[in-house]
Amino acid sequence: MSTIDIAVVDYGMGNLRSVSKALEHVATTKNVVVTSKPEDVAKASRVVFPGQGAMPDCIRELDARGLRGAVLEAAQNKPFLGICIGLQMLFEQSEEGNAAGLGLFKGGVKRFAHADMVDSQGEKLKVPHMGWNQVYQCQHAEAKAHALWQGIEDGARFYYVHSYYVQPADESIIEGYSDYPKRFTCAIAKDNLFAVQFHPEKSANAGLQLLSNFVNWSPS
Amino acid sequence: MGLAKRIIPCLDVTNGRVVKGVNFLELRDAGDPVEIARRYDEQGADELTFLDITASSDNRGLILHIIEEVASQVFIPLTVGGGVREVEDVRRLLNAGADKVSINTTAVLNPKVVQDAAAKFGSQCIVVAIDAKKVDNQPFEWEVFTHGGRKATGLDAVKWAEYMVSLGAGELLVTSMDRDGTKIGFNNPLNKAISNAVEVPIIASGGVGNLQHLVDGVKEGGADAVLAASIFHYGEYTVKQAKDYMAQHGIEIRR
């Protein structure tokens, strides 16, 4: 059996081609596999957990393929990158369809509140939050910015498309935030896991840098 | 600082080449799509839109091939439209590497395609394109046209926009047929009316002749993104020049 360097978890939701193409672009010598098999996720050295669409459907499709256990296992034991719904699913509960998530992290997933969606000039802000927004990196007291921010300017713009965002109960896992118009969490990390709300695979050079950092990441 | 306004070069593709017409007619060759896409990405384009403007079954494979090639080299969002008739077409385009699919005539003929595609793939990848024209013979100001602008529908463009969003459209691409190819600027009252009526982002399209038109599209038309073709294809302006100009006029853009 061939080895799998990077498994992109496919649970039938959305377009994974962008994610795998971008990974192949930054990791030309690595074997990138898009897979819906739990055993592939289990044997891969690194796992990317993307997501598009509605969270209740994503959870349902994940379970339909028997992937829940393999994803949870990978999220706690090997370099793991969650993207978009792949970040949101790691939490306990989402306002979207009142769905239960995988519950790896305490906290919920909230929708941008209609009443808040006005900018400083009084202009209406649209939902979904779609386009390029600035990402600010968190520097925790003990260390410099996270290894996955390496080579990326603080405040660099990444491409977003989403109507929901995560609210971690434990703020120490927050690694990045954006403003729309209020501050929301766009990146979290714990041990071997990093997860982002924006789409690195669609974020030009900043996104490719983050993916490259992930491919070369050795979590301590 | 927050979300940047987007600049989206639009590539009208037919028979594997990028072309540009005036008022939907008189097509001129503007080059190789992959080469052009790569150039715009390097200039800092925020997104690219490909419209398959002939979209007959015989060149359908061609656009899929182009999208596949672009998607493996250009890592910004790609929208593809033209000739999308059923949910299966949406799936094929997404699988080829499109991030969003734009639906126009089919949305009018069979709105359920918009609803089903949004339910299946998520609203984030469903763009409804609205071609609108100012009319005098209706109780409303702008009417929706289909079939590349040839067929009147009797639909009020603003009400139609609201309906499409209610079915799951995640973004609207609003083209003024009166302005398309004229270089006299976007139809800002039309764009503003639609932008005010819906919660989702709108892309202004049709009529850009200079960089001030892009600024006006955002400031007067309330557009979240501005789409242009000919000013970029023929080298009149680069995307970077457009961004510099917008930034000088107080619009937040991505550098």
Domains of chain A, residue spans = 6-97+107-215
Instruction: Report yes or no on B195 lying in a domain.
Output: yes
Does B167 map to a domain? yes
The contacts of residue A81 (CB under 8 Å, 6+ apart) are: A46, A47, A48, A49, A193, A194, A195, A196, A211, A214
Q: What is the rounded distance in angstroms from the CA atom of residue B157 to the CA atom of residue B165?
A: 12
The span from the CA of B211 to the CA of B139, in Å, is 34
**Which two structure tokens, joined as six digits, stand for A217?**
């990441």
CA distance A104 to chain B (A): 24
B3 CB neighbours in chain A (<8 A) are: 125, 129, 131-133, 160, 180
The helix/strand/coil state of A25 is helix
Going by the DSSP 8-state scheme, the letter that residue B223 receives in this structure is -
Closest-approach residue (CA) in chain B for A134? B2
Q: State how far the Cα of A207 lies from the Cα of A158, in Å rounded to an integer.
A: 7
Spatial contact of B203 and B227, defined as CB atoms under 8 Å apart = yes
Chain B residues whose beta carbon lies within 8 Å of the beta carbon of residue A129: 3
Catalytic pick among B89, B131, B156, B216: B131
The reply to whether residue A132 touches residue B123, judged by beta carbons under 8 angstroms, is no
Per-residue pLDDT for A62 more than 90?
Answer: yes
Domain count, chain B: 1
- What is the share, in percent, of chain A residues with pLDDT greater than 90? 84
Above 60 in pLDDT, residue A51? yes
Asked if residue A154 lies in contact with residue A145, where contact means CB atoms within 8 angstroms, the answer is: yes
Give domain status of residue B254, yes or no.
no
CATH code for position B223: 3.20.20.70
Q: Please, where are the H alpha helices in chain A? A: 17-26, 38-43, 55-64, 68-77, 85-88, 204-215
> In the predicted model, what is the mean pLDDT of chain A?
94
pLDDT of residue A152: 97
Contact A25 B72 (CB under 8 A): yes
- What pLDDT is attached to residue A13? 77
* Alpha-carbon gap: A31 to the closest alpha carbon of chain B (Å): 16
Residue A199 among the catalytic residues: yes
Determine the straight-line distance between the first and last CA of chain B, rounded to whole angstroms.
13
> How far apart, in Å, do the first and last CA atoms of chain A sit?
29
CA B178 vs. chain centroid, Å, equals: 16
Range of the domain at B38: 6-249
| A10–B contact, CB cutoff 8 A | no
Question: In angstroms, rounded to a whole number, what is the distance separating the alpha carbons of residues A74 and B45?
Answer: 36
Residues ≥6 apart with Cβ < 8 Å to A157: A132, A133, A134, A135, A203, A206, B4, B254, B255
Taking the model in full, what pTM does it have? 0.94
* ipTM of the complex as predicted: 0.92
Does the beta-carbon distance from B5 to A131 stay under 8 Å? yes
Per-residue pLDDT tens listing for chain B (255 residues)? 789 999 999 998 888 888 875 555 566 777 889 999 999 999 999 999 998 887 555 556 778 899 999 999 999 999 999 889 999 999 899 888 999 999 999 999 999 999 999 988 889 999 999 999 999 999 999 999 998 788 999 999 999 999 999 999 999 999 999 998 889 999 999 999 999 999 999 999 999 999 999 999 999 999 999 999 888 887 889 999 999 999 999 999 999
A39 catalytically annotated = no
Residue from A129, A146, A162, A199 carrying the catalytic annotation: A199
Under CATH, domain A6-97+107-215 is a member of which superfamily?
Class I glutamine amidotransferase (GATase) domain (3.40.50.880)
Q: A186 falls in which pLDDT band (50, 70, 90)?
A: very high
Q: Tell me the chain A residues in contact with residue B92 when contact means C-beta distances shorter than 8 Å.
A: none
The mean of the pLDDT values for chain B is 91
- The pLDDT of residue B14 is 85
